[in-house]
Structure 1
Amino acid sequence: MKRKLADRLDWNRVLHRKFISKFVDEVDFKGHITLISIYQVKESLRRNIKINEDDYRLAKSVMTDLIKEIERMENNNIKNSTNHFEYILMESQGRH
């Protein structure tokens, strides 16, 4: 079985990061949740990507709809993820 590590130590461009991971066992979710904060990178990631107009419009439409879902908190996955990340942040700051 391939195992992925969430600490991303192989990201060579990242000079300063903070990594927090917590195991959660709840009715809606069981597993590890991870928060990676990146504070400093060697250089920005630059890539030349050619996107045609139709693909751009589709991506913009999908992202607009997703942003609306996030703002209204209608998506259960987004709700759960947001709650778990808020929990991790509170734990990392000693507020629980």
Structure 2
Amino acid sequence: MCLLIEEPLLDAYFYEGDLLLAAVNAPASAWALLPELGARLRAVITTLPEVMVAGLPRGAAEDLACFVARLESPTPSDCCLRCWSRPRACRTPSPAPT
């Protein structure tokens, strides 16, 4: 985790940022056990330059935003409900409010 905090777009094996995306897509229950690390990772994600996030695979920006929203809010109001329980589902846009 220290490496990820220091270099969030670390290329662990497949592509730049793969470790970061694996971490943010871990179940919320896992992050509930590590609130301090989650907060540190959230801080790192929020400071990533937009150009770096744009270079990640399709859907990565949404995964990152969902992770940040999940940790910032005790309720799913800041993140789609599907994402709240399964981060990968956040790639599907929520229906527009009526």
Same fold (TM over 0.5): no
TM range (shorter): under 0.3
Larger radius of gyration: 1
Q: Higher helix fraction: Structure 1 or Structure 2?
A: 2
User: TM-score if structure 1 supplies the norm length?
Assistant: 0.25
